């Protein structure tokens, strides 16, 4: 009887430990992805076709133009989207003369899974240039749809 109880206790604690380990792994991966994305998002540039660095913006997606590789001749359009609890990034490159970007992404990769953000906690929050020195408060947020993307001066990522 005590051997059965020990086996059940061991089995349940192993399942719990596995769950905690998996959650910690996912949390670490998401944190690392966000830190990398924030560093890269600070390098947005004007598009090859002369468009503003912020192409489109909403609570759960952001489309920007970023060159991540030194000496890269074209600036790819990068779309960061939350879809079905997965944070995905799409990439498309300009072509032609004058340069133009395709309307859909050429490649899409999953950056992180099991993202649980909802409408009350969006992935992206946008602020104008009236930002106080402390963390921006709700009254400085830009409402959607943003009338002009050129008003956006700060993007809070997750």
Query: What is the Cα–Cα distance from 104 to 42, expressed in whole angstroms?
Result: 23
What tens digit of pLDDT does each residue of 44-92 get?
888 888 888 888 888 888 888 887 676 677 888 888 888 888 889 899 9
Please compute the mean of the pLDDT values over residues 4-8 and round it to a whole number. Answer: 71
Looking at residue 107, what is its pLDDT?
A: 92
On the question of pLDDT at 152 being above 80, the answer is no
pLDDT tens track for 10-39: 677 777 777 777 777 777 877 888 888 888
For residue 108, the model assigns a pLDDT of 92
CA distance 128 to 141: 7
Please report, for the chain, the start and end positions of each structural domain, with discontinuous segments joined by +: 38-118
Question: Which pLDDT score is estimated for 137?
Answer: 53
Neighbours of 82 (CB within 10 A): 22
CB 62: neighbour CB atoms within 10 A? 25
- pLDDT for residue 144: 55
- pTM higher than 0.75: no
Is 148 or 14 the better-scoring residue by pLDDT?
Answer: 14
Q: Taking residues 109-122, what's their average pLDDT? A: 83
Q: How far apart are CA 65 and CA 47, in angstroms?
A: 6
Q: Could you tell me the pLDDT band of residue 146, with boundaries at 50, 70 and 90? A: low
């Amino acid at each position: 009887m005590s051997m059965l109880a020990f086996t059940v206790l061991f089995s349940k604690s192993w399942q719990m430990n596995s769950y905690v380990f998996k959650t910690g792994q996912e949390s670490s991966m998401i944190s690392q992805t966000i830190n990398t994305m924030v560093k890269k998002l600070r390098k947005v540039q004007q598009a090859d076709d002369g468009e503003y660095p912020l192409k489109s913006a909403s609570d759960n997606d952001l489309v920007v133009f970023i060159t991540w590789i030194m000496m890269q001749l074209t600036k790819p359009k990068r779309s960061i989207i939350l879809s079905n609890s997965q944070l995905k990034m799409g990439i498309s490159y300009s072509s032609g003369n004058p340069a133009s970007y395709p309307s859909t992404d050429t490649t899409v990769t999953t950056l992180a899974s099991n993202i649980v953000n909802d409408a009350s906690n969006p992935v992206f929050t946008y602020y104008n240039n009236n930002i106080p020195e402390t963390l921006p408060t709700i009254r400085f947020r830009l409402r959607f749809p943003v009338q002009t993307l050129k008003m956006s001066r700060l993007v809070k990522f997750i």
